[in-house]
């Protein structure tokens, strides 16, 4: 049975089909010739766009930041497609199926923080400062803003070590859907998918990523729109579907009721275990964490002007809602379908594995032609996010750590080092995807985003908006945010401290503070990180006045440049 405190009570089966009743699937099976034909067309288009990106990649600036010439529509769709992945659709959709429509608050927060605030407040300053500093990655921007190669290297290490967990969750989601749809072995699906994405990321760089993201984002939008419409048609209409779900409150499993569940159309009991899990770990952890994502923040340095970011909001907001909002609506409504067809609610119908709910619902409830289309949508979601993750991890290792850290920026082999970094970090992510337990997708995503918020956000905001922020303040904020998160995960937050087991081994209990065992580290580590950033900055020598004056010039006074520091002449 599902344990909401850990997300991991069901171990990853060798096959999802091992725990799914066979009568849930289409009796006729998938039309393989039709599916293979669609996939062939999709892959041909993806390869063509990747090749086009490769041909347009002339130097390191193109490979790293797409030449800083991205238009608003491509920027918005690529940004949204990078953020919304199989983690959101399958992982968080499955969590919503268990917890209810309270997860829609996460979609609204994603739009408010991840689109409106990010594009209109953070984005313009990040673009201007990034171009002035000739920064090509998020760690390089922070490093140059605070005049510290060491800080750049440490951020590169952080990304290289922690992002593979997030990348693995995306790979798991895509492989699980391929497994349930095509009947392929999970490991085979995982390897094939990874190779496809890695190929165009390694060869084409960021321009290829942007173009393929935009193409994949369009497919995702169409697929999610059809999913919403067909779900309401299947359940008899909008009012009928939501009324039926509201009337199922008495069917909530007893273990969920015990921790605060009040029905799929209600928020959990205020202050309950489930309320803290939903609000602190998922809604706040991911909703706020989006703004501190390095693979997203770097995109602000890829656009040509501030107007591009303003126009991108008009496309980015609706795109995010259609992606995340639909998943958080369809997930809970799947309970109506499963109960009508099996007599069980969603989580019980699939054997307790949250990551299986959406794939099984799609394959069993909706028309076969839609399964074929949605297969492409899921592939697009996974490929767009995985591509950006691979590129970010690779630049963190090859560019931020090796070239600018170990070689002090003297080597010109930027693209070579980045490609090697991509390969190494992909291997790590695939290994994790083989061994992580079931129901892990949403949890892994929340952990990574929460840690990014605590470690990066105070330093990032200070770099953009506070002239008095110092290198020492940035170091201290980063260290405290990261260490406080780790300590809270290991010794307090029972969702992780229990499975990790260190707290139990040392002290004989799974958490040292039972009253706060379900409070996510983001609510502890982030305030500490903010306080430390302010106090240490005020206690240390301020940055040079000239640098501050140059960085905080008005937009019209700033001379934009598309060079990458020291490597502009390097051929791709």
Domain boundaries, the chain: 16-28+61-437, 455-555
Per-residue pLDDT for the chain (572 aa), expressed as one digit of tens each? 334 343 333 333 344 444 444 444 443 456 677 777 887 888 888 888 878 777 777 666 666 655 566 767 777 777 777 777 666 787 788 899 999 999 999 989 988 988 899 889 998 898 888 888 888 889 999 999 998 889 999 999 999 888 888 888 778 877 876 776 677 788 888 888 888 777 767 766 667 777 787 888 888 888 889 999 999 999 999 999 999 999 999 999 999 999 999 999 999 999 999 999 899 888 888 888 888 888 888 888 887 778 878 888 888 888 888 888 898 999 999 999 999 999 999 999 888 888 788 888 988 888 877 877 777 777 777 777 777 788 788 888 888 888 877 877 666 666 777 788 888 888 888 888 887 766 566 677 778 888 999 999 999 999 999 999 999 999 999 999 999 999 999 999 998 898 888 999 999 999 999 999 999 999 999 999 999 999 999 999 988 888 788 888 755 444 444 444 444 444 44
Residues contacting 556, CB < 8 A, separation 6+:
none
- Give, as one character, the DSSP assignment of residue 237: S
Are 216 and 46 in contact by the 8 Å Cβ rule? The answer is yes
**Residue 411's pLDDT is what?**
62
- The superfamily CATH assigns to domain 16-28+61-437 is Sodium/glucose cotransporter (1.20.1730.10)
**Residue 62's pLDDT is what?**
61
**Residue 559's pLDDT is what?**
44
Half-sphere exposure (CA, 13 Å, Cβ side) for 520? 28
Alpha-carbon distance values, 457 to 114, 248, 290, 401, 527 (Å)? 13, 40, 10, 21, 10
Q: Which residues does residue 303 pair with via DSSP β-bridges, in sequence order?
A: 70
d(CA 220, CA 82) in angstroms, rounded, equals 11
**Residue 525's pLDDT is what?**
95
Residues contacting 406, CB < 8 A, separation 6+:
none
Place of tokens 């497609």: 81
Alpha-carbon distance values, 470 to 140, 480, 482, 484, 525 (Å)? 16, 15, 18, 21, 20
d(CA 245, CA 65) in angstroms, rounded, equals 46
Q: Which residues does residue 571 pair with via DSSP β-bridges, in sequence order?
A: 59
Alpha helices for 277-353 (secondary structure H): 285-289, 294-297, 306-320, 326-342, 346-349
d(CA 491, CA 92) in angstroms, rounded, equals 25
**Residue 59's pLDDT is what?**
61
pLDDT digits (tens, 9 = 90+) for 314-365: 888 888 888 888 989 999 999 999 999 999 999 998 888 887 888 889 888 8
Render 59-105 in DSSP notation, one character per residue: BHHHHHHGGG-B-HHHHHHHHHHHHSSHIIIIIIHHHHHHH-GGGHH
d(CA 235, CA 229) in angstroms, rounded, equals 10
């Amino acid at each position: 049975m599902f344990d909401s405190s850990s997300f991991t009570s069901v171990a990853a089966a060798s096959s999802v089909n091992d725990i799914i009743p066979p009568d849930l699937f289409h009796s006729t099976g998938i039309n393989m010739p039709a599916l293979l034909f669609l996939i062939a067309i999709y892959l041909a288009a993806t390869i063509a766009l990747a090749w086009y990106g490769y041909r347009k990649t002339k130097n390191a600036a193109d490979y790293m930041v797409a030449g800083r010439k991205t238009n608003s529509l491509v920027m918005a769709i690529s940004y949204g497609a990078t953020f919304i992945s199989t983690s959101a659709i399958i992982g968080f959709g499955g969590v919503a199926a268990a917890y209810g429509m309270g997860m829609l608050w996460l979609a609204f927060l994603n739009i408010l923080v991840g689109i409106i605030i990010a594009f209109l407040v953070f984005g313009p300053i990040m673009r201007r400062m990034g171009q002035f500093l000739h920064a090509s990655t998020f760690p390089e921007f922070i490093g140059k803003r605070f005049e510290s190669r060491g800080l750049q290297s440490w951020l590169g290490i952080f990304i290289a070590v922690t992002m593979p967990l997030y990348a693995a969750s995306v790979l798991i989601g895509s492989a699980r859907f391929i497994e349930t749809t095509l009947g392929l072995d999970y490991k085979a699906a995982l390897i094939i998918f990874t190779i496809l994405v890695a190929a165009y990321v390694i060869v084409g760089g960021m321009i290829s990523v942007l173009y393929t993201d935009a193409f994949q984002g369009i497919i995702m939008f169409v697929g999610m729109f059809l999913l919403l419409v067909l779900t309401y048609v299947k359940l008899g209409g909008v009012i009928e579907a939501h009324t039926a779900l509201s009337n199922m409150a008495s069917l909530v499993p007893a273990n969920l009721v015990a921790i605060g569940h009040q029905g799929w159309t209600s928020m959990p009991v205020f202050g309950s275990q489930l309320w803290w899990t939903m609000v602190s770990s998922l809604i706040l952890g991911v909703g706020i964490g989006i703004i501190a994502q390095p693979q997203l923040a770097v995109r602000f340095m890829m656009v040509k002007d501030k107007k591009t970011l303003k126009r991108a909001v008009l496309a980015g907001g609706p795109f995010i809602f259609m992606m995340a909002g639909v998943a958080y609506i369809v997930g809970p409504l799947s309970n109506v379908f499963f109960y009508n067809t099996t007599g069980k609610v969603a989580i019980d119908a699939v054997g307790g594995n949250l990551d299986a709910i959406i794939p099984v619902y799609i394959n069993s409830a909706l028309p076969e032609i839609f399964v074929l289309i949605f297969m492409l949508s899921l592939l697009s979601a996974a490929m767009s996010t995985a591509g950006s993750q691979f590129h970010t991890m690779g630049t963190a290792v090859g560019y931020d750590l090796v070239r600018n850290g170990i070689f002090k920026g003297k080597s010109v082999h930027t693209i070579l080092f980045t490609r090697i970094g991509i390969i190494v970090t992909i291997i790590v992510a695939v290994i994790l995807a083989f061994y992580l337990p079931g129901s892990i997708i949403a949890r892994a995503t929340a952990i990574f985003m929460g840690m990014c918020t605590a470690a990066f956000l105070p330093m990032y905001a200070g770099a953009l908006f506070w002239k008095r922020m110092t290198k020492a303040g940035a170091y201290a904020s980063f260290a405290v945010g990261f260490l406080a998160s780790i300590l809270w995960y290991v010794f307090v937050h029972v969702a992780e401290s229990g499975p990790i087991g260190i707290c139990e081994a040392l002290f004989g209990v799974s958490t040292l503070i039972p009253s706060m065992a379900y409070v996510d580290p983001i609510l502890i580590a982030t305030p500490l990180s903010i306080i430390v950033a302010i106090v240490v900055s005020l206690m240390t020598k301020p940055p040079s006045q000239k640098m501050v004056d140059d960085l905080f010039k008005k937009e019209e006074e700033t001379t934009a440049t598309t060079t990458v520091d020291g490597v502009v002449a390097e051929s791709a």
